[in-house]
């Protein structure tokens, strides 16, 4: 499972509108950036209290990246 697919799976299982979730991966020389866009109504569910859910998502994706010997991963979460 790719990092993008993993992130999409995690986020879609948290939100009320999974069809409104967009996840894109951008590769750089030094790191991989994953952009997550969710509905503004679901932003609180993805971020969580004090950012704990977002932090957990980042930790899982980064751990998966390290297991696959990939580059560093940065996960950005935003709403539209």
Residue 70 is predicted with a pLDDT of 77
Residue 24 is predicted with a pLDDT of 97
* CB-based contacts of 13, cutoff 8 Å, min separation 6: none
Per-residue pLDDT of the chain (80 residues; tens, 9 = 90+): 899 999 999 999 999 999 999 999 999 888 999 999 999 999 999 999 999 999 999 999 999 999 988 779 999 999 98
pTM of the predicted model, to two decimals? 0.92
Pairing of the two strands 31-38 and 72-79: parallel
Burial class of residue 68, CB neighbours in 10 A (0-12, 13-18, 19+)? exposed
Residue 21 is predicted with a pLDDT of 97
Q: In terms of CATH architecture, what is 3-79?
A: 2-Layer Sandwich (3.30)
Closest CA to 72 of 19, 30, 20, 37: 30
Domain boundaries, the chain: 3-79
């Amino acid at each position: 499972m790719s990092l993008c697919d993993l992130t999409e799976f995690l986020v879609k299982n948290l939100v009320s509108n999974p069809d409104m979730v967009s996840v894109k991966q951008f590769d750089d020389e030094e790191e991989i950036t994953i952009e997550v866009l969710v509905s503004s109504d679901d932003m609180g569910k993805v971020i969580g209290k004090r950012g704990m859910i977002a932090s957990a998502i980042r930790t899982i994706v980064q751990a998966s990246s390290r297991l696959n010997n990939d580059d560093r991963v940065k996960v950005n979460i935003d709403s539209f």
